[in-house]
Structure 1
Amino acid sequence: MTGSRVRAAKGQGGLLREQLLDIADQLLEEGGADALTIRAVATRAGVTPPAVYLHFASKTELVHATCLRVWSSLFLELEEVSRGVPDPVTVLYETCVAYVAFGLRHPSQYRLVMDGEATEASRQNADACFRYFRDKVTACLDAGVPVESTTETARLLCASVHGAVCLLIHQEHDAWPRDIARYVTRVASAAIHGALLTASHASPPSMSAVMQSG
């Protein structure tokens, strides 16, 4: 389907750029990375490909900008769930919940960024996410949680939530758990309990340890 022609008045090139990104995001949601091309964006916008190239020098740059814009909303969501919560461990839990939920809501963008196809977007977002989690772990340490290494603990948390997202988004949707909300909260709970309980030492699991923790 071709949309109405997009025109930007003089001095409103930024508005046209945002409209092109809106279309690129729609194409990603509808057909994944293969559907997102300069020509497809131009066709849906009702402009010629050169008009798109005025804002994005290549498909890679277009993908990069589209992914970064979506991912910027993640950090707004993470800040929102943290606002007004005094317990840093609860904040860390809610951060994990929000992260996994975000990835499952934006599977195409998540795959593009975290699988490395949008190279610069991948680097920026991976670094930003890691630093965000490490800051939250540091807050737990400051509150008295025995954390030997904030870097190692943050790395374990990132591996847990990233793995939980990837496990589903690389499968057909009908293979996903029926109760996604329960999946998300259990992943977050398991990640927090696992990472923080082993934050000061990594002891091998045993039947007695599991029974005691219950």
Structure 2
Amino acid sequence: MSSATMDPAGELARALHRRGDPMSASAFLEVLGEVVGGSTAPLTAGERDFLLTHAGLNEQDLSEQGRAATQLGLARERFTLDAAALDGALSTGEVAALLGRAEANVRRSRLVGDLYAPNPGDPAGLRFPRWQFTADGRVVPGLRRILPAFPRDTHPLAIGRFMTQAQEELEGMSPVDWLAGDGPVEPVLALVEDLGYL
């Protein structure tokens, strides 16, 4: 077991201290619970017995400290996934320069679905994953029809992987390469619908 699993409260307190102690560890955990959606309600005796018997958990896992460790782990994994999804992504200004457009035009293209930038509430501003742009600086066509076909809660990393992985149904090309080569949108849409569990 890592020290993070053994002492999540200590790890959190040290991390907050490195940032100038902007809040207490308990206040941070309350905020984290709101963001992650974790329940702060205590487990019923039946829930506790079920988890101990069938889920491979022990008393330490179900303690307040164990639950905090789980929430921290989930938050860390979510952060890692979000960071991976936007690795190499372009800012609004960079997309405007790439496409030779005004920034307002880039934002408008996002709103109508011709460009993809997840997490509009990000304080760092919009970030446009690089996969939607061709090597010669064009936008991959068809995004306005394809992106809404993904289930609403599909993580941007899953969308990026799908769009860049070779597909037999597309003659071994990725959806990005298929669409950039003027392939029709319908086969890509069919694949997205078939993989609706993404």
Q: Which has the higher helix share?
A: 1
- Using the size of structure 1 for normalisation, the TM-score is 0.27
Greater RCO structure (CA 8 Å; 6+ sep): 1
